[in-house]
Amino acid sequence: MVGDVAGFAAATYMRGVDWVQVPTTLLAMVDSSVGGKVGINHPGPRTCWARSTSRRAVVIDPSLLETLPRRELQSGAYEVLKCGVLSDRALFRAMRTAPAWLQGWGRVDVENAIASACRIKAEVVEKDEREARAAAAC
């Protein structure tokens, strides 16, 4: 949520300013930091309160995951698992054998899982970066 709010502010202030995103949760690392759209939730369609933005960079530091509570790791792990189910058998197999909530998983394994999930998400975003089909519903 913090990344979406910061990205929305950067995209709307003076018609957009450069920004660098540093996601601090696993879910943000593999999902929202990769997408081209940032927004703020409200009761209506989310896309109507969203902006497309180009981040200058995304800096992912897996060591930040060491301080997260299990629930935060679990939500991100499910997103990584979803990427494996949809597009990457090796990632799916790795997630099947990973320890619960990825705690105690080797740093290289975590980095590989994040990189694979980001690659898959980027492929999806490339097809419709501005989510034009969803925006048409507004």
DSSP-assigned letter for residue 20: E
pLDDT tens-digit series, residues 45-80: 555 665 666 678 889 999 999 888 988 888 899 999
| Domains recognised in the chain with CATH numbers | 2-135 (3.40.50)
Using CA atoms, how far apart are residues 22 and 25, in angstroms rounded to an integer? 9
Q: Where does the pLDDT of residue 27 fall: very low under 50, low under 70, confident under 90, or very high at 90 and above?
A: very high
**57: enclosing H helix or E strand:** strand 57-58
pTM to 2 decimal places = 0.78
Instruction: Fill in the amino acid letter for 23.
Output: P
